[in-house]
Amino acid sequence: MTSADGAGPVADLVRYDLDGHVATITYNRPERLNAIDGAMRQALNAAFSRFRDEEDAWVAIVTGAGRAFCAGADLRGEGDPTGEFTGTFWERPTVNSFESGWEIFKPVIAAVNGYCIGYGFTLVTWCDFVIASERAEFGFPEVRLGVPTMVGAIRLPRKINWQYAMELLLTGERIGADRAHEIGLAGWVVPHEELMNEARALAARLVRGAPLAARAIKEVAVRTADLPMTDAIRFGETMRRVAGATEDAAEGGAAAAERREPRWRAR
């Protein structure tokens, strides 16, 4: 197992641990319920950048230390939790973090251990799988603070039923784990002490598949969501041919013919 490179307060705010092909990214500011300030934003971006680029990292689990997953933006913290911007308002980039839409086509599991509010909830809407502790709570409180929820308003109605999404976005109320499961937000609700075991078990299932094929599948699913069917099929066929030309595709065929487990190399 390897841990995040570097030392000091910024590196300590987010832990990065790689065990086999599974990276665990942990919000690590429990004394502030893992709320995000400017320094933690830098650390989160560094962790997700590492996961995106590290060849041996095939699947990520995201969770929080202490009793919160992430309590949103730290309005009393230092720095800008949204990231570093330059220029005028209209020149500001909007895609500057995983929460706001970095394209990471490796599978990501959210292991939600407690409060999942604001920015934390936004990140969950970008995850492929959500496993919730029985103690988890989800909410977008921004409307009660006089500001709109932007990325949440874009993503949440694509994840769950429109009316359930609007209820969360427009009331600012929180829901518990069972309600999150009922409306399709959380795929699983588990006893709190079993949360990470369940997340690791799911990750172990995912790494049995060819990593490049998995990334192609996720990219096709994301990019074709708003395409006409013919265009979607054409793009999917292109990606199938690209993935089919990899060493892993040849290995998969050989392993099936020889009746053995494939040895993936992500090549």
pLDDT at 32: 94
Interval 35-47: pLDDT, tens: 999 899 999 999 9
| Residue 1 pLDDT > 90 | no
Average pLDDT of span 100-108: 94
Question: What are the Cα distances from residue 41, in Å, to 83, 100, 111?
Answer: 6, 12, 19
Query: pLDDT confidence of 190, banded at 50, 70, 90?
Result: very high
Interval 9-23: pLDDT, tens: 456 899 999 999 999
Residue 6 CB burial class (10 angstroms; 0-12, 13-18, ≥19) = exposed
Which CATH superfamily groups domain 2-206?
Answer: 2-enoyl-CoA Hydratase; Chain A, domain 1 (3.90.226.10)
| Residue 103 pLDDT > 70 | yes
Instruction: Name the H helices within 15-137.
Output: 38-53, 119-125
Question: What are the Cα distances from residue 21, in Å, to 1, 61, 106, 205, 225?
Answer: 10, 11, 11, 11, 28
Average pLDDT of span 206-224: 96
Percent of the chain with pLDDT over 70: 90
CB 75 within 8 A of CB 123: no
| Residue 251 pLDDT > 70 | yes
Phi, psi of 117 (to 5 degrees): -125, 145
CA atoms in the 13 A half-sphere facing the CB of 168 = 30
DSSP 216: H
Distance CA 266, CA 212 (A): 6
Which residues have a Cβ under 8 Å from the Cβ of 214 and sit 6 or more positions away?
58, 106, 107, 206
Q: Which of 8-17, 56-65, 156-165, 185-194 has the lowest mean pLDDT?
A: 8-17
Percent of the chain with pLDDT over 90: 84
Query: pLDDT confidence of 89, banded at 50, 70, 90?
Result: very low
Strand partners of residue 176: 137
Interval 161-184: pLDDT, tens: 999 999 999 999 999 999 999 999
Question: What are the Cα distances from residue 68, in Å, to 76, 174, 206?
Answer: 17, 14, 26
pTM higher than 0.85, yes or no?
yes
Distance CA 60, CA 19 (A): 10
pLDDT at 169: 97
